[in-house]
Structure 1
């Protein structure tokens, strides 16, 4: 740790983690610190071209690695950890995506059993141009290309679950995890309830971009340098992950079936909006029913992810969420993008 309380962490390959919980911390950090964390892609950097089929170059369960965990001093069960994503920067000029046998929204899986044969396994390589701010898609069977906006996000970020559990990094739940929502981009603050002493924050699985729902189960997977600012909010719990931007608040639900994830997210947002504004619960429910959004994170992971979102400008004089920590951390992170 330097005098400026900025911590830089670059894990060696054998230091990558594949669970939330059950790991010793890689570093101790404090509320108010800035972290600059190097993350590997979901394939551990082993898929680099069309010939690198994930089933051949990767080995289960060593998929979706995260960097960490970081022990956050003064974080205790019943607190909330605020994580402001100041910047997410691709570290390579390429990213990869793929189809997997028995994985994705449009194929039979072990839990959606069908008689159809598995999808062909295939890899797509995307060019990343940070100057042009684009991600270039190349069709594999024709010469078609398409330039898509570069919109980096962190797919997996979370804290240790409670109850002495260790959860695979592929699973999203109350502790965070593989949320796979494009809303976790630079400039966003994520709120996670603390379940264990020290919180044990970890992150990885960067995407250069991802469509809502992550239909094939794989975004444009990248390694990143991610800069975050953290703050412990004492004595305030958070049951499900929450997200705040300059303009919106969002609640995250993770479950199967998809409608239960939708219900979790919207039930939490109705309560949060009511708490922030003093709106009676059914009035808040009605407003969110007509003005809210429901971006889907993923429909492929062990739990599905749905967000419930509402524009802060539509809420009647809302109190700042968590005492204004989003604006405070955003100011602290100024110049780190």
Structure 2
């Protein structure tokens, strides 16, 4: 529990779709710090006793629950909500799954797979991936956003201009996020907490892990922000830079196909170098590897690179 927080929003106060008609769980004043009890993206479906059979039993109508919403006094359409991420309270348990039909390489990985993670929630030391390596941890919330102005219930799966399923791993402690307000009170919610994720989340899941998060809210009047933006408190990659990277590429006229090729080539490389099965390498790429656009001006071909941190195996 956050001793310095002004309000607590309990995990029972969650929802599975963005909708500005959902009554707020709390009304807060600007400058308040709020403690959110969040659920993981599977809404508690997976436990330490789960097996791969539980992947197929996942209810997609109940994924990515978000805690909230809260109403911030004075926030109006055209303003921006300034959210300072104060910190996370991790649970120590997480999961990563290959879910059939989901992910960048869904056509190649059609069978379910599941990895369960146990990590020290106090030290946040790198988490063991089977017997192969250790993944550095960096908690953040995948879902963080506001209610859209458009009426009705909107899926929590795609990101939007008001936030939502952004899955940006650098929205971690110390980061300040700005979101465009479309409805009175902003109606903020948060969830889908992760212990670690690579840029791209290529298999569709990160280290999905239940966590609580403390956030401070302020209103920037008349910001007229078109899309989310954020400011980091310091370096964002040095937790993985210490041993360098293995890098594979995809080259061609289509960025999506380039991304697929770069990841496929890394899966092959990790199998050759470390004896991982293809699906193990795919899930590991999702939790700690980074997709980057290296070149997008030398037509007709672009270059997408996939960076895998060598520190995982050293």
Establish whether TM, by shorter chain, passes 0.5: yes
Q: Structure 1 pair 202/215, CA: closer, same or farther in 2 (3 Å)?
A: same
Partner of residue 63, structure 1: 63
Q: Where does residue 104 of structure 2 map in the other structure?
A: 105
Q: Deviations over 1:258-296 (max 9, x none)?
A: 68xxxxxxxxxxxxxxxxxxxxxxxxxxxxxxxxxxxxx
Answer yes or no: is the 8 Å Cα contact 2:55–2:97 preserved in 1. no
Which of 137, 144, 148 aligns to 2:135? It is: 148
Give the match's secondary structure for 2:119: strand
Distance across 1 between alignment mates of 2:11 and 2:102: 29
Partner Cα distance (1:104, 1:5) in 2: 37
Alpha-carbon distance, 1:165 to partner: 4.5
* CA–CA separation in structure 2 for the residues paired with 1:65 and 1:201: 13
Q: Deviations over 1:87-118 (max 9, x none)?
A: 0221x22111100101111123xxxxxxx6x5
- Alpha-carbon spacing, 1:189–1:53, altered in 2? closer, same or farther (3 Å): farther
**Given the two structures, how large is their TM-score scaled by the length of structure 1?**
0.65
Which runs of structure 2 are paired with 1:182-261 in the superposition (5 Å)? 182-247=169-234
Structure 1 residues 51 and 183: alpha-carbon distance in aligned structure 2, compared to 1, 3 A threshold = same
Looking at structure 1, the residues matched to 100 and 197 of structure 2 have their Cα atoms a distance apart, in angstroms, of 20
1:134 is the counterpart of 2:125: yes
CA gap 1:100/1:230 in 2 versus in 1, 3 angstroms: same
Q: Following the alignment from structure 1 to structure 2, what is the Cα–Cα distance between the partners of residues 87 and 60?
A: 29
CA contact (8 A) 2:33 2:217 kept: yes
Separation of aligned partners in 2, 1:306 and 1:203:
26
Q: Which residue of 1 aligns with 2:75?
A: 75
Deviation sequence 1:131-176 (CA, Å, 0-9, x none): 442242333xxxx242222210110000011232532111101010
The CA deviation at 1:56 is: 4.2
CA contact (8 A) 2:85 2:173 kept: yes
* CA distance in structure 2 between the aligned counterparts of 1:175 and 1:96, rounded to whole angstroms: 28
Residue 222 of structure 1, CA deviation: 0.9
Separation in 2, partners of 1:133, 1:246: 19
Count of residues in correspondence between the two structures:
238
* Structure 1 equivalent of residue 312 of structure 2: none
Secondary structure (helix, strand or coil) at the match of 1:229 reads strand
Structure 1 vs Structure 2 CA RMSD: 2.5
After superposition, the Cα gap between the structure-2 partners of 1:24 and 1:306, relative to the gap in structure 1 and judged at 3 Å, is: farther
Distance 1:10 1:152 in 2: 19
Structure 2: how far apart are the matches of 1:132 and 1:73?
37
**1:25 paired to 2:28:** no
Structure 1: 5+ residue runs without aligned partners?
A: 109-115, 250-256, 260-299, 308-337
For 1:175 and 1:306, how far apart are their aligned partners in 2?
24
Give distance in 1, aligned partners of 2:101 and 2:150: 31
C-alpha distance in structure 2 between counterparts of 1:32 and 1:53, whole Å: 46
Give 3-state SS (helix, strand or coil) of 2:83's partner: strand
Consecutive unaligned residues of structure 2, counting only runs of 5 or more, are 237-253, 257-285, 294-314
